[in-house]
Structure 1
Amino acid sequence: MSRNDDGPPALERRRRSWAMDEKRRIVDESLEEGASIAEVARRHDLNTNQLFTWRRQFGVVPTAPQELAPILPVTITPDAATEYSAPGSTGQMEIVLAEGDRIIVWADVEAAALSRVVKTLRR
């Protein structure tokens, strides 16, 4: 970029260059059992899309849809007042797991806490 004599120099952005063996090592890490592509990319200061591009370049076939978790039925029921609901809450969500276990979440649940529960259940 050019420099203006009246002000500070313009910021220059440099592109990183990755050796083929570095790319292969990162791609291999993303293929390990239980690895999260997003986490691997973050660990190496990469954009997730760049890691997907490298995976394609090394011949990695994208995950087939049948390997994804199945879509489960959801039933929405009218509000039912219970002794467990917090004052001021306006609704609840009941999550019924495949084995029949139930998780009930009220409107005042912290989003971060619910997110941790859902991530744990996905494992």
Structure 2
Amino acid sequence: MRQITVMAGPERRRRWTDAERLRILAEAAEPGACVADVARRHDISTARIYTWRHKLRQHIAVPQFAEAVVDGGDDKVPDVTPQPAVVIELGSKVRLSIFPSAPVALVAATLKALR
């Protein structure tokens, strides 16, 4: 026959309400707050706070956008035409412009042909 031991007393596994979880998460998210300190105050592990935070982010899934600031001081449109990196003039009728985006092989072949 086997022996079974029944332990009476408080259960170690605690149940947290959603309101308690949100309060602890808000406390951990305050500027300058340390998750380890918040966890110690509430006698829970830091992993528990990070797990709750992860689950909350999955549940909410709200995209975050950065605020755009438009400076209305200058209405000029910037010049976006690319400037050549090298300009080679051969006489009065031949001008070769090499842009930074040009492939090296093409530039080498062109210069070789101009010899």
TM-score of the aligned structures, taking structure 1 as reference length: 0.39
Bigger radius of gyration, 1 or 2? 2
TM-score of the aligned structures, taking structure 2 as reference length: 0.42
